[in-house]
Amino acid sequence: MLRPTLLAPALATLLATLPALVASQGSNVTEAAQFFPQYNSQRVKLSYGPFTVQSMDINNGMGDFQAVGIQVPCTDCIITWMQAGLEYTNGTVANANTNLWLHHTVLANMNRTSAVCPGPGSPDLFFASGNERTAMDISVSGTEQAGYYIAPGDTWAVELELMNMLPTNQTGVLTMTYEYIQSPPSSFSHVTALWFDIGGCNGNSDQPVLSTTQPFNYTSPPWVSDMSGRITFIGGHLHDGGTTLSVYRNQTDDCDLNATYGANSAYIGGGMAMQSGSAGMSMASSMTMARRDTSMAMSMSMAMPTTSSMDMGSSSMNMASMTTSASPSSSTDMASSMSMSGSAMPTPTLIDNIHISNISTCLGPQDGVVSPGDVWTITAFYDPARHDLMLNTNGSAADIMGIAIIYVADLNVTVTAAPNTTSASGSPSASVTSKSGAGSLAAMGSVGMMCLGLGWMVLIGTVV
């Protein structure tokens, strides 16, 4: 997951200039709170940007933006719910059907270390979202008195990658909506975010596709718990082609996060396909031609934990890449669907691809307690026969991912209503199996920075 990397002095200087830019571009919109009105809860939508992404013929339309020291919604407060979004500057929603995607975004608390991968240069990764835009409902819609605490002086970092699938530039605005309680009563528990990755703590979040025709899966290295707590919420992320992300406690399946595709029109579109015709070469129209998946690289280090300042030259953080791009309803194996009698490639054109529109979550799993000595793993299941994989521009299968975030509260958390389940470190293990599952920020591309790894995000990164 996290790969320490030294920063060049010039790059550290550049990153140090980003926070002021972010703060000057942020805006706040107050919304009606949904939970805990008895504690004067508040909801706010913060906007960052705007960010202009170059056309799809430049870096395959990918734009990377990142910063340390971004605006936080509150201090000495508890976040009970949060969700990412993407809009145009006029306030309308941007999505696959408008050919501008929220490829991924990740938040990190630089004043804390990761619980799963502790150590210098391993900040607390407490939120992530792909284009499916899962809401992190930490308090289970107000039924559990728990949330993510923001201490005075906490420093946050964000990494954002947008995908533009049009031949012209597009401009978007990142939104983050938080519900929170200011100066929460002592009855509220502070949750710990457990971030699990099929790549492990010292590997890459991106893993190669094992088959373009048969189901396959990856399992994360085991994590042995050294803590006690009650699980309130589990969310996760898969790439297109994924069916289920399963969370295991002592080899028992505690939670299945299931992917839904094309549930509404916003998730149909935004892809390229090679159309038949040129120089005797034909390719099935269902083959998505998409960029190579890259890491969200956030190069930064932490002055832990006595000060909120950062030594930008000591280490780095890798967060997870999140990709959503797939072809239409039926999968086609590249090897069997393409015939060539010439060397010229046909021109990529936009088609209506179907993408992951939702990944289910788990609220208070049946045995939702974390105890010392428990062994936790996650397994990401993919089935190319059911859902098309993302392809690179050269026609090869792009890497896949599997990430889960588990929010764990103190065991004395107060439950105000019965929780329920909704919808259903080292190297990863991988196998081909048959389980398919149910169902600011400144543009780094402009300065030509290269990704430092294909795993967890560090605060630098561009398209490769």
CA distance 332 to 363: 36
pLDDT at 394 over 50: yes
> Rounded mean pLDDT of 366-380?
90
Q: What angle do CA 425, 430, 431 make, to 5 degrees?
A: 155
pLDDT of residue 155: 95
Q: For residues 207 and 218, is the Cβ–Cβ distance under 8 A?
A: yes
The dihedral through the CA atoms of 449, 451, 456, 458 has a sign that is: negative
Once rounded to an integer, what is the mean pLDDT over residues 130-144? 94
Which residue in 53, 82, 83 sits closest to 65, CA to CA? Answer: 53
CA 319 – CA 313 distance, rounded (Å): 18
Q: How far apart are CA 90 and CA 92, in angstroms?
A: 6
Pairing of strands 146-150, 189-190: parallel
Q: What is the residue-wise DSSP string for 253-268?
A: EEEEEEEEE--SGGGB
The whole model's pTM is what? 0.74
185: cis peptide before it, omega within 30°? no
List pLDDT tens digits, range 65-112: 988 888 999 999 999 999 999 999 999 999 989 999 898 888 999 999
pLDDT at residue 392 in the model: 66
> What is the percent of the chain where pLDDT is above 90?
46
Q: Is beta strand 100-113 parallel, antiparallel or unpaired with respect to 156-164?
A: antiparallel
Give Cα 151 to chain centroid, integer Å.
Answer: 24
For tokens 């269902």, name the residue. 286
pLDDT over 70 at 52, yes or no: yes
User: In angstroms, how far is the first alpha carbon of the chain from the final one?
Assistant: 19
Question: Is the per-residue pLDDT at 300 higher than 60?
Answer: no
Tell me what the pLDDT averaged over the chain comes to.
Answer: 73
Top-confidence residue, 213 or 311 = 213
As beta bridge partners, residue 159 has: 66, 106
Question: Got the DSSP string for 336-353?
Answer: HH-B-SSSPPPPEEEE--
Q: How far apart are CA 390 and CA 399, in angstroms?
A: 8
What does the pLDDT look like over 155-207, one tens digit per residue? 999 888 898 888 899 999 999 999 999 999 999 999 999 999 999 987 678 89
Give the pLDDT of residue 14: 38
Distance CA 217, CA 143 (A): 34
Model pLDDT for residues 227-242, shown as the tens digit of each residue: 999 999 999 999 889 9
**Per-residue pLDDT averaged across 240-252, rounded?**
94
